[in-house]
Structure 1
Amino acid sequence: MKINANTKIIGKNVILVPYRAEHVPKYHEWMQSEELQHLTASEPLTLEEEYSMQQSWLHDANSSMVGDTNLFLQEPEDSQSAEIEIMIAEEKARGKKYGWEATLLMLCYGCEVLGIKKFQAKIGLDNVKSISMFSKMGFNKVSESNIFQEVTMERIVDNGWKSWLLEQTQGSEQVKD
């Protein structure tokens, strides 16, 4: 069973929960948006494919749902490295710092629980808001691909940055369901 299968991370304004079957219809609805497909470099899936994807994520390592954040561990060659992704799909939820908080909570979880030492974010070249957010979080641009139209940003975990993360997520908690 995955370490986070029953983990809920509670922040001030967001709660992170594992992607479960009851989330699939809402997620599928979001991913019909051409804007979100572009911003996340995704292809639309059928509802059946989305349920299959959810099951594969569940076994592989709510009405207020507004987005999605993930850590993809770089295994087996570099198990201390992870790619982070964030998407605030609900337009009315954008610009309210939910993405900022969700990303900080996920980064903190990665450092504290999973022992991640390096984070990477791949962001579309025209996604200025995400590039700015990750820059403010201390990520640095390490490459740019005109072919894939994306920038790769990285952050090496050091004690100073980890302390900053803990300060930013102070008051959050991890709960097992």
Structure 2
Amino acid sequence: MKKVEVIQDFPEVELVGRKLGPFKEGEEVEVRPWEASILEERDFARPVRDFSLTGIRKVLIREEKSSRLEELPSSFYRTVSREVRRLRERGEIEKAGEVEEAVESLVNFRIQKLARMIISSVDPGEIPAEEQVLANLLAQTLSFWEHSVGRVFEKNIDKEAGIHAKKVWRNIQGIVGEQADIQG
């Protein structure tokens, strides 16, 4: 179950054979994650987690102090995006910019940690989908690069081995002559 705060009245509706609502503005309710997602997308509710500037700064401070990735809700980026959009719609442009700056700082810390984890082959665990996409791309790129570098070294080894083999053959020919049949 997921706890959300109702931000506008919601009438009782039936979804997939289950009644949802009625909910009053300001009420905190627990609903299934998919129901919460629908309510949030339609601007009827928001997660109870604090996605205000203060809340995001608290997450940023925890992220700065921790050596591992701090847990973020799976809907973090979508929720923050909706919050910034709401602030802009209400004319709070400066506050929206401050939220964006705090999130940008948070993202920078998380990208660095995520990259280190991928390079070290450490599983980042449960992370938002947007970060999972980045982790997958980093892992694929790193794997491709390692494979490419490995092929370069193999070619150089083969080439170098061939050069040494030719030198050895010339030395043998110089010792035994053109009719060098050492098996006979």
TM-score normalized by the length of structure 2 = 0.22
Higher relative contact order (CA 8 A, sep 6+): 1
Which protein shows a greater Rg?
Answer: 2
TM-score normalized by the length of structure 1 = 0.23
More strand by share: 1
